[in-house]
Amino acid sequence: MKKDMTKLGLTLMLYASLACASLAVVYAFTKESIDKQSELQLQASLKELFPEATVFDPIQDLSSPDPNIKFESAYEVKSDKAALGLAVKATGPSYGGNATLLVGIGLNRSVAGVRVMALNDTPGLGMNASNPTYYVDKTKKVTFLGQFAGKFLTDPFEVKKDVVAITAATISSRSLTNIIKAVGNAAVAYMDQKAVTAPTESGPSAEAGANTGAQPQAGGK
């Protein structure tokens, strides 16, 4: 009986180690690709927010004003000639867990744009934050995050006042808005402190320019 147990145990061990070994092989093959994916996604999104940018310098000394919202990484964005603004990857609590956004802040203290990095939410409701065909303003085709582009940080950033909420997902809308606001405030403070300012003639970045006209109407539908 005892001998049987040892034999069974050994068999089980054998199968388990075989499984682990084969997984290690697959992992080794896919690891590079997986790591690259999140990096690629970040790079692509950074590029989208600041199309003219050529350099993204990581910066360390930018801390979140809100203890619930964590800044995972932050970059000073520059083109060949001048500084363009800041971009911050921030994670904060939302409705279905944590949400991670990439927020770009232009030198004129306005939001250059917002991209979703990771989001868990109810499909059809909060998930619409990352849905490119869900518009808070149907006539102008402005998405929920699109409405922030070109928005100045002196605005109140209050959902249902100057920010249109996603239908039936007020809590998600509020959480995401809070993340953007936190990044904005930190970025403005940083820029004031380091005296990073815009060259006189430059307006909001090209991406922001496309959407600046779309001031959201309070209340939504």
Partner 1 sequence: MKKLYSIFKQGIIFENPLLMLMIGLCSAIAVTSNVSNGIGMGLAMTFVLLFSEIIISLFRKLIPSMIRIPIFIIVIAAFTTIVDLVMKAYFPDLSKSMGVFIPLIVVNCIIMGRVEAFASKQNLPSVIADALGMGLGYTWVLIGLAAVRELLGNGTLAGIQIMPASYQPILFFILPPGGFFVFSLFISFNLWLKKRMEVSARNKELAAKKEAA
Partner 2 sequence: MDLGKIFLLALLVNNIVVMRFIALCSYIGMTSDLGQSLGMGYAVTFVTVLATAATWPIYHYVLVPLNLTFLQILIFILVIASLVQLVEFYLKKNVPGLYTAMGIYLPLITTNCAILAVTFENISFKYNFIQSIAYSVGVSLGYLLAMVLLAGIRERIKTSPVPKFLQGTPILFMATALIGVAFMGFAGLVK
Interacting residues toward partner 2 by CB under 8 A: 16, 19-20, 23-24, 27, 68, 93, 95-98, 120, 122, 168, 170-171
Annotate 10-44 with DSSP letters as a single string.
HHHHHHHHHHHHHHHHHHHHHHHHHHHHHHHHHHH
Q: What is the CA radius of gyration of the chain?
A: 22
Does position 212 interact with partner 1 (CB under 8 A)? The reply is no
Report the residue from 52, 73, 118, 203 that binds partner 1 according to the rule CB under 8 A: 118
Does position 200 interact with partner 1 (CB under 8 A)? The reply is no
DSSP-derived letter for residue 180 is H
Could you tell me how far CA 22 lies from the centroid of its own chain? 35
123 binds, among partner 1, partner 2, none (CB under 5 to 8 A by kind): partner 1
In whole angstroms, how close is the CB of 23 to partner 1 at the nearest point? 5
Does position 122 interact with partner 1 (CB under 8 A)? The reply is yes
Give dist(CA 219, CA 42) in Å, integer. 32
38 binds, among partner 2, partner 1, none (CB under 5 to 8 A by kind): partner 1
With contacts defined by CB under 8 A, how many residues of the chain interact with partner 1? 26
Nearer to partner 1, 19 or 218 (CB): 19
In whole angstroms, how close is the CB of 2 to partner 2 at the nearest point? 18
Please enumerate in sequence order all residues whose Cβ is within 8 A of that of 117, keeping only pairs 6 or more positions apart, or say none. Answer: 41, 42, 45, 89, 100, 101, 102
In degrees, rounded to 5, the angle at the alpha carbon of residue 111 between the alpha carbons of residues 157 and 183 is 70
Which residues pair with residue 218 across a beta bridge?
A: none
On whether the CB atoms of residues 84 and 53 are closer than 8 A, the answer is yes
Does position 41 interact with partner 1 (CB under 8 A)? The reply is yes
Does position 188 interact with partner 1 (CB under 8 A)? The reply is no
Report the residue from 44, 55, 168, 189 that binds partner 1 according to the rule CB under 8 A: 168
Beginning with the edge strand found earlier in the chain, give each strand of the sheet holding 83-94 in spatial order.
Answer: 55-59, 70-78, 83-94, 97-106, 111-118
24 binds, among partner 1, partner 2, none (CB under 5 to 8 A by kind): partner 2
- Using CB under 8 A as the criterion, which residues of the chain lie in contact with partner 1 when the complex forms? 7-8, 11-12, 15-16, 19, 22-23, 26-27, 30, 33-34, 37-38, 41, 118, 120, 122-125, 133, 167-168
